[in-house]
Amino acid sequence: MLAQAAAEMLDWRGSGMGVMEMSHRGREFDEIFARTELRLRELLAVPAEFKILFMQGGAIAENAIVPMNLSRGGVTDHVVTGLWSIKTRQEALRYGEAHVVASNEADGAANHTTLPAPATWRLSANASYVHVCSNETINGVEMHELPDLRALGCDAPLVMDCSSHIGSRPIEWTRVGLAYAGAQKNIGPSGLTLVFVREDLLGHALPFCPSAFDYAVVAANGSMYNTPPTYSIYIAGLVFEWMAAQGGVAALEQRNIEKRRCCTTQSMARPSTPTASRARPARA
Ligand SMILES: Cc1ncc(COP(=O)(O)O)c(C=O)c1O
C-alpha cells in the first residue's frame, strides 16, 4: 500500500501529476474519490439512505459539529463510558442540555471498565439523539453490540464515535443514525474524518453552524464544498483496496477475534498485567 503510494507519488498512473498536485475538481481526483467512496460503501455495507461525508477536523471537531447539526439547541443524551465520551458530552453542553443517561464512572477500584446495560439507561423523552463511543480507546471498553434504541422505546437516532474500531467489524446500520470516525486509527493518515449520516437527519443545522460543517451543505456538494483532504482520501482508498483484498470487513473481524484470543491467552498467563484484569478486551 505505502509502496504503491511511493511509486505513484510523482506520477499517478501516467497522469503526469502526483495526487498532491491534483485539483480536487479535476478528472483524476474525481476518479480517485469515486472509487474510494464506492469501496468504503461496499466494505461497510453502507445503505443507500446514508450519505458518506469526507470531512476534516477529527472526531473532536465532530463533538461540536454533531450538536450543531442535530441537537436543534435542545436535549441530547450521552452514555459516558470513558474519556472520549466525557469530552463529547462536555462539548455538547455548549450547544444545549447534554444529559448523562448512563455512566460507568463509579466502577469501583478501576473506573470506566464496564458497560452500563442499555436497559438501565435513563433515556430522555425529548432527546434529539443518543451519543455513544462504541470503542473507548483509552479506557478499553468496546460495545460488542450496538444498543437497539427502538427496543428501549426510544425514537431518537443513535450517534456513535467509532474512531478507534471502524473497519474492524461490520456495523449494524439499522441501529444507527450517524457514525463518525477520525481516519488516523484504522483508515489512513490524519486529516480525514468520515461521517455516515442518515439522509432524514440532514437540514437541521443551527443558524451559526459554519457552512463547511453543515452536513446538508457538505452532502449537497459531494464533500467538495471546501477542498477535502485529498491525499488522506487517496491513501484511505488504497487501504480500502487492501481491506477488500483481505476478504473484507467480516474476514478482518475474524482475524481480529483470533488476535484478541491470542492476546488474552498470553495476558492471562501473566495475571498481574492490567489487561488481564479487564473484563473484556477492548481493542480489536
Ligand atoms: C474514540 C476516539 N474519539 C476521539 C478521538 C480524538 O480524535 P481526533 O484527535 O481525531 O479529534 C480519539 C483518538 O484520537 C478516539 O480514539
Residue nearest atom 10 in ligand 1 by C-alpha distance = 58
| Distance from Cα 153 to the centre of ligand 1, integer Å | 30
- Tell me the per-residue pLDDT of 9-63, one tens digit each, with 9 for 90 and over: 999 999 999 999 999 999 999 999 999 999 999 999 999 999 999 999 999 999 9
Residue written as grid cell 459516558 = 80
Closest CA to 81 of 60, 102, 99, 110: 102
- Cα(35)–Cα(201) distance, rounded to whole angstroms? 25
Predicted pLDDT of residue 267: 58
Parse the chain into domains and list their residue ranges.
2-246
pLDDT at 221 over 70: yes
Question: 13 CA to middle of ligand 1, Å?
Answer: 34
Phi, psi of 125 (to 5 degrees): -75, -25
* Active-site residue (options: 12, 121, 161, 214): 161
pLDDT score at 279:
40
Ligand 1 pocket test: which of 136, 137, 141 has the largest number of ligand atoms within 8 Å of its C-beta?
Answer: 137
Residues 22 and 231: their CA atoms lie apart, in Å, by: 9
Taking alpha carbons only, the member of 181, 227, 218, 226 closest to residue 199 is: 218
Q: Which atom of ligand 1 is nearest to the CA of 59?
A: 11
pLDDT (0 to 100) of residue 247: 97
Strand partners, 80: 103
Taking the C-alpha atoms of residue 66 and residue 132, their distance in angstroms, rounded to an integer, is 12
Which residues are CB-contacts of 31 (< 8 A; sequence separation ≥ 6)? none
pLDDT of res. 260: 80
Query: Residue 18 is which amino acid?
Result: G
In the set 51, 84, 121, 214, the catalytic residue is 84
Per-residue confidence band for 259, with pLDDT thresholds at 50, 70 and 90: confident
Output the average pLDDT for the chain: 92
Query: Which CATH number is 2-246's, of 1.10.760.10, 3.40.640.10, 3.40.50.150, 3.30.430.20?
Result: 3.40.640.10
